[in-house]
Structure 1
């Protein structure tokens, strides 16, 4: 889905939510608040899923339900009331807000490892193909899961950091799950998957060419959980419980990587045999304001954001 169509979908959803067609049934009198979390099947969400499985959110007084979703549907589902919270990324939050979509990042949940080679998003090419350096991508087609989401924005930034003229590279949308096959068939020249699909690509004969984290700093938040401004204002107590439980879940995930890896096949398409080899992000709810500002600057520099990005209200501290 291109950005104009994605934004149109968001606007329509906002209009529906304003007229009261949200379908929100997050609270019940007979039990803990139900929190539906629209979640894409990537490793960045693993700490939250593990926390749900371990009962960490239940202990915090929440009934958290993991709802599978594709990246383009996360923000519309949250704004429209089909989910209370969504899993996505920092650039997506800032870009949506710059276009008037009333969402807020309630917590970060991951950042990049210090070593770019260990990053959980990697640009891949055919191992035996002609593309040997980032500069070889001039005039080539790169598949990203969704335009203007984290992998697309971050790989554009990484290519710029490597001195590549990004205007010479064509980006096309392709689901993560279809990337390895498309690269093998030669329908695209390179792909930009997030784990667990980096491991899937390597197993299918791909080679990592460039880490998406090149050109970034450790202060920059990556995966985040977001909610509508309306939900944050109307049910801040539930949001705060979610934030507290998520912090515990991230701490637990960092301390128990084997248990976290065993969780991956339960909500992603990664085979159990590969779950032990994929690259993991650093699971943390700590995000520095300077990191958010860096994302805002990147979106402006790349002329992806058509309006100035105001950070006030973009994320909870």
Structure 2
């Protein structure tokens, strides 16, 4: 567990302990690969992972030093916190960028909704309001000159039941929930939410505080190297991700074979993050330009 002063504690074998909060999504694959393939150990780190259902749930713990890093952290949330001054954000490594069908807008098999244009005014479930899901879906619909839906906040594990009970007209699901909802409920894809303006957009990363980096520069650099090595592995060998997924996400080995994976970038790219910032500005999720380059840990 992290602490407020003097860096983080060490395990019995001398490795520095880090506590990382993570969502059980494909976004976190590099984190688990780095742990299970010994990449963290190689950097002298003993990484303990705590599962959360929303990355925002871990923000108070990060600010108190109870968590050192948040993995699969939704950039939109953390850039907003940085702008508001509630978080002195630092990005240790990129998590994933959006790829085709890594997230989809799903409707029941017998739904009257037939095209993305039909979503105008309809209730669509997202995990967090005013975040990466609504940001990208709005951009896709705007590009098609289609009306926007009304968003409802429902956690990923509850999206299938909410769709089944007709509490919403559609769900914006990410993998592995996307494939599971289609398989278990016979839901169909109304829109590839990883297409158009959303494709290639940075979605999540490994975030921490400036204070943590200042107190633990060696651990921060080692963590970045381990995650980037794991991301290169994930990008070059998707089978490694598919093998890892059932160990930490609610997905069977059979389901893991057909899941659409995101893109795992080897290094963080300020230009890609600026594209996200511009989109956030356009939709009113940021009030001023933020240069992501100084936030990236070298």
TM-score, structure 1 normalization: 0.85
Number of residue pairs the alignment of both structures matches: 292
Choose from 23, 28, 51 the match for 2:34: 51
* 2:167 paired residue number: 187
**1:184-263 aligned within 5 A:** 184-203=164-183, 204-216=185-197, 220-263=201-244
The superposition leaves residues 69-93 of structure 1 with CA deviations (integer Å, 9 ceiling, x where unpaired) of: 1212132222221210101132222
The reply to whether residue 303 of structure 1 matches residue 298 of structure 2 is no
How far the C-alpha of 1:123 sits from its partner, in A, is 1.2
Distance in 1 (CA, whole Å) between partners of 2:288 and 2:198 is: 24
3-state SS, counterpart of residue 20 of structure 2 = strand
Instruction: Return the TM-score normalized by structure 2.
Output: 0.90
Q: Is the 8 Å Cα contact of residues 33 and 244 (structure 2) preserved in structure 1?
A: yes
| 1:64 alignment counterpart | 47
Q: Is the CA contact 1:220–1:288 (under 8 Å) kept in the aligned structure 2?
A: no
Residue of structure 1 in register with 2:111 after alignment: 129
Relative to 1, partners in 2 of residues 1:163 and 1:77: Cα closer, same or farther, differing over 3 Å?
farther
**Closer, same or farther: CA 26–148 of 1 in aligned 2, 3 Å:** farther
Aligned to 1:108: 94
Match of 1:142 among 124, 144, 150: 124
> Structure 1: where are the runs of 5+ without partners?
1-19
- The runs of at least 4 consecutive aligned structure 1 residues that moved more than 4 Å come to 20-25
1:200 positional shift: 0.9
How far apart are the structure 2 equivalents of 1:313 and 1:241? Answer: 19
Match of 1:36? 19
Superposed CA offset, 1:64-122 (max 9, x none): 11110121213222222121010113222222211112122111022233xx3xx3111
Question: Which consecutive residues of structure 2, in runs of 5 or more, have no partner in the other structure?
Answer: none
Looking at structure 2, the residues matched to 286 and 107 of structure 1 have their Cα atoms a distance apart, in angstroms, of: 7
